[in-house]
Every structure is written in C-alpha cells, then in structure tokens.
A and B are shown apart, each in its own frame.
Chain A
Amino acid sequence: MSVIIDVCSRDDLAGVDALWREAFADDEPRHRAVAAVPVKLAFQPELFLVAREKGRVIGSIVAGYDGYRGHINRVAVLKSHRRQGVGAALVREAEIRLRALGCTKINLQIRAANHAVASFYRGLGYAVEDRISMGKLVAADDAP
C-alpha cells in the first residue's frame, strides 16, 4: 500500500465527507465536511491533512493553532485501512507543522469511554492532563 500524506484540497471534499460520515456518524450538521472543509481551507489550510491511497481519501486530521496551544481534531481513518499506521503518520505530520509555527504544546480531547483512542495517543507520546474542559456556544445575538 502506498499512502501519501498531503494538504487537503477542494478536490478532496467528497472523499473527506465519506470518511467523516463513516468515522463520526453522529456529527452535528456544522461539523459535516460540506460546512467545515471550506472554513478550514480558508484558515490555516496547511494544518488540514489527508491521507490518500491511489487518489482516494482514506484518512484525515484537522490541526489548529490558537497562538498558545496546538489542537488536533478530526483524526479519522477508513475502517478498511486501520491498523496500518495511517493515523500515526497523520498525527506526526501535524505535529511537525504545529512545531514549525512555534507551538510548544498540543492538547486534544477524547471521549471518556474511548479507551482504544486513549491508548493510540499514549503510543504517540500523549498523556492524560487532569483538566476540566468547559465550553459555550455564543449566539450571534448574545453579544451585549
């Protein structure tokens, strides 16, 4: 198998959409590829990577840098192509690119019950950080 890690392009939209529908079946509409890919291609596109085999998208990672911390999201590999190191290769390439931007630390969040993915990240040098994550969706009319 010859797999290429590359920056995502507009031509990958359909492939990314299929990949994410398989990997993240319970996605909210705003996270679907058709909504999220154009946003990411407009901002830090060099941190949106795909793995391709014979031109077909088989894996993805969306990294980001908020100026303080690096973030990793949307790590996905087609079920038919797992356990071949594709996910690890995507994470490593994202780390290289984040480091080149000056990022010194990456944070990522996983679901508490997802032990398999926790051990995947441990194998890549990640450790659990004892933190409470908090979030808020700020509505457009929320602004005072």
Chain B
Amino acid sequence: MTARIRGAAPEDEVAAVALWRACGLLIGNGDPVRDFRAVRARPASDILLAVDDEDLPIGSIAVGHDSNRGWLHYVAVDPARRGHGLGRDLVRAAEQWLAARDVVDVHLTVRSGNADAVRFYERIGYGAVPSVMMEKILRKPGPGLT
C-alpha cells in the first residue's frame, strides 16, 4: 500500500483529531483542536498527513523545531492501516521537512512502558537518550497566576 503524504489543511481538523483519538493519543489534558491549529499556524511547525485514495487522513505527524532541535509529536497511524510502513514514511517525511530547514537533530518522547513504540523508533534509526524529562504546565495569564 502506498499512501500520499501532504501537509494538513484546515478542513482536515475533524478527521485528524478523530485519528488521534482512535490511536489512543488523547489521554492527557491537552486540547487537540487547539494543538492542530497552533502547530499549523506557526512558520516553524506543521502537521503532515498520510491520506488514502479518497484524500482522507490515515496517518499523521506533527513536526516542529526551535532551531536547535526538531521535535515529533502526534505520530499516529490508523490501527486498520498498520504494518505497511506508513509510520516510517511519515517520520521520514518529517525528517526531510526538518532537514530542509537545516535541522538535523530530531527528538521525540515515548510514554514509559510503550515498548512497541520504542522498538518502532529503534528500527528507523532512533536511540534512547539517557535523560530525565521534566514538565511544567503554563497557566493562562491572569490575576494570582504568575
């Protein structure tokens, strides 16, 4: 199976969010609609979609960089379309997107315990980076919140 990979358009929003939900990516506190719009709105990030013959999304990857590193998020392939190399093709397309912007240091995070994802990334050239990830949620500006 070959799938075309193209940049996401505003009208892909509903299908992309549905894909992320079907792939189990929406288990945190994030707002996927906001993410879809924000990633596409900025010059240094985009969402790439693998689409079927009817131009409907069957895979996705969000790619962006801060000039220092490229980051991959929302890597998803429709559960019914797995095993055909779509994920590999999406990652490769994102790497090319980054390389075209002179960014060659590509990073991503995997939830601890997701051994399948780790094996997938190792097969396509990624290695675990020994480090501890820390996070902070930024609250909206407002009284009493600094």
Contacts and interface: CB of A to CB of B under 8 A. Distances in A.
A44 B67 contact: yes
B111 interface: yes
Contact of A128 (B41, B98, B129, B134): B134
Interface stretch (B8-16, B49-57, B58-66, B76-84): B58-66
B96 interface: yes
Contacts of A125: 136
B118 interface: yes
25 contacts: A39-B67, A65-B42, A67-B45, A67-B46, A68-B39, A68-B62, A68-B73, A69-B71, A103-B138, A105-B135, A105-B137, A108-B133, A108-B135, A109-B134, A110-B132, A111-B130, A111-B132, A126-B134, A128-B133, A130-B133, A132-B112, A132-B114, A133-B128, A136-B127, A142-B99
B35 to A, nearest CB: 6
B134 A137 contact: no
Interface stretch (A5-13, A14-22, A52-60, A94-102): A94-102
B77 to A, nearest CB: 17
Given A103-B138, A106-B136, A42 B131 contact: no
Interface of A: 36, 39-40, 42-44, 47, 62-71, 73, 95, 98-99, 102-112, 118, 121, 124-140, 142-144
A62 B63 CA distance: 20
A60 B112 CA distance: 31
B114 to A, nearest CB: 8
A112 B73 contact: no
A109 B129 contact: yes
Q: Which of A68, A126, A142 has the most CB of B within 10 A?
A: A68
A129 B111 CA distance: 9
A137 B35 CA distance: 26
Contacts of A65: 42, 66
A134 B126 contact: yes
